[in-house]
Structure 1
Amino acid sequence: MLLRTPLIQAALNGARSRAEHPAIPLTPEDLAADAAAVVAAGVGALHVHPRDAAGAETLEGEAVAAALVAIRAACPGIPVGVSTGAWIAPGGAERISAMRGWRVLPDYVSINLSEDDAPEVAALAQEMGIGIEAGLWSRGDVARFLHEPWAHRVLRVLVEITEQGTDAALGAFEGVVAELDEGGWSGPILSHGLDTGFWPLLPVALRAGHDLRIGLEDVLVLPDGSPAPGNAALAEAARRRCTVAG
């Protein structure tokens, strides 16, 4: 039985394209509309990948500002986070310069510990007063994270399982969580799977007392395997699962 209500974070778009799902939100207006819908469904935090005019992921200041301003107007008071993935334009080390140009700041950024310059991105986020989610995809990421001097200052760790299928996803999840336990981590954990590993992992993460992430970035179908109409339907499905578990 759950001892608390988990935080549900909605990952609205990620790197997905409209070819993968026609309801992927791309523009600031799309993101704001989806954000309002998922918050109405019980979501308490948001994670987005801002897009440029062509719909490509970007960390350029104007696009980041437009997305954040629109979302905050639709959902005042709801924390909004942005990915800093190395693949996002302008890419690699250049994204440090892009972040320095931000004039509208997210509440937090997600930083992948699998990326070589994660410490530099984390240092900049701290300098700018932006919260950090530490993205952990493997046991090796956990070991690296726990040795970082800023580890105790993150908002939470984000256990991101990309392995597909029930057995592979749960095995990877258990390995990452075991590494965190062995390392003495006692802070918040937010977990999610990806595609065919998503729904099998969710109840296991709930039983472990973790917060959850859901959205079209992570999964395109509902628990019964039918196509999800959009982010709001996924958020509602996750909320129902949390209610049943509680």
Structure 2
Amino acid sequence: MAEYQIMVAPNGARRQRRDHPALPLSPAELAQEAADCHRAGAAALHLHVRDAQGRHSLDAGRYREAMAAVAEAAPEMAIQITTESAGIYTPDQQFACLQALRPAAASVSVREMAQAPEIATRAYALCAETGTQVQHILYGDSCVAQLQTWYRAGVIPDAMRDVIFVLGKYAPPVLAQPQDLSGFLSATRTMDLNWSLCAFGRQERACLLAGIAAGGNPRIGFENNVETPEGDPLATNAASVAALVTAASAAGHILRKG
């Protein structure tokens, strides 16, 4: 039996309505989705915003609009922005997003920051100064090694111990499997991390249940998966959250909502 807390990632950077007709894109849609997912059991929202053409955006103004809408619709829900590049933004643009918003929480890709070490140093220092809760995105062993190097060098403050393990890939598509978690746990076993996981593809729920049992927190949502385990379309992000809560409860795990 384990306690866990859910973060929902309702849209991501790449999916469009052709991938799922209920994908939330506008601030109003994201706000409604946040409220629905909070009622279903999610405590936090991993927020992506889009530009006028529906493309991934790090625009501070668009973020502020969406954050305000979510805060009004789901005032008890924590909001985590992303600085992910999605192959569009450079590290200096990612830093500019952090600098403009100074958010309460942000996900930051170790792999992307490593492209510009001097900007990485400034970004982590800024987050330490502003109190931003950084969640380091880890895609594999090389990211873990980089994180360890930066802890030893003092680039990343020792207290910034939140990470998310990414199981599988969006492009080229690699479907996650529960056994994928073992490599991350082995690589990080001495690092004293507060870890979460997300998983691409229809085995998302099985992967997240394995993560909960191992002591991690799940991130679920259309960013990573739009299908049931049987391959049918999921109805909504909230339905996906609710199904995870039901399955985790059946396994004896305890949901922490706040």
TM-score, normalisation: structure 2: 0.84
Secondary structure, aligned partner of 1:93? helix
Q: Which moved more, 1:157-166 or 1:18-27?
A: 157-166
Structure 2 letter corresponding to 1:87: A
1:75-154 correspondence runs (5 A): 75-87=74-86, 90-102=89-101, 105-115=102-112, 116=114, 117=116, 118-148=120-150, 149=154, 150=156, 152-154=158-160
16-25 or 65-74: bigger deviation: 16-25
- Of the candidates 8, 11, 16, which is equivalent to residue 10 of structure 1? 8
What is the distance in 2 between the residues matched to 1:88 and 1:50? 15
The match for 2:255 is: none
- Corresponding position: 1:160 with 2:158: no
Q: Percent identity between the aligned chains?
A: 26
Provide structure 2 residue ranges, at least 5 long, that are not aligned to the other structure.
253-258
- C-alpha deviation, 1:92, in angstroms: 3.7
- Once residues 26 and 123 of structure 1 are traced to their aligned partners in structure 2, the CA distance between those partners, rounded to angstroms, is 31
Q: How many residues align?
A: 238
Residues 63-110 of structure 1, C-alpha deviations (whole Å, 9 max, x = no match): 0100100001111132101111123755442232233233xx432111
User: TM-score if structure 1 supplies the norm length?
Assistant: 0.88
Deviation at 1:18, TM superposition (A): 1.0
Aligned alpha-carbon RMSD (Å): 2.0
Q: Which amino acid aligns with 1:125?
A: C
1:32 aligns with 2:31: yes
* Structure 1 gap segments, 5+ residues each: none
Question: Which one of 216, 224, 245 corresponds to residue 239 of structure 1?
Answer: 245
1:99-130 C-alpha deviation (Å, 9 max, x unpaired): 3233xx43211111111244443333223331
Counterpart position of 1:58:
57
Query: What is the alpha-carbon distance in structure 2 between the residues aligned to residue 207 and residue 98 of structure 1?
Result: 35
The alignment partner of 2:23 has SS state of coil
Residue 145 of structure 1 aligns with an amino acid whose one-letter code is: L
Kindly indicate whether the alpha-carbon contact (under 8 Å) linking 1:68 and 1:106 is maintained by their aligned counterparts in 2. no
Instruction: Sort the Cα spacing of 1:120 and 1:9 in 2 relative to 1 into closer, same or farther, 3 A.
Output: same
2:57 counterpart SS class = coil
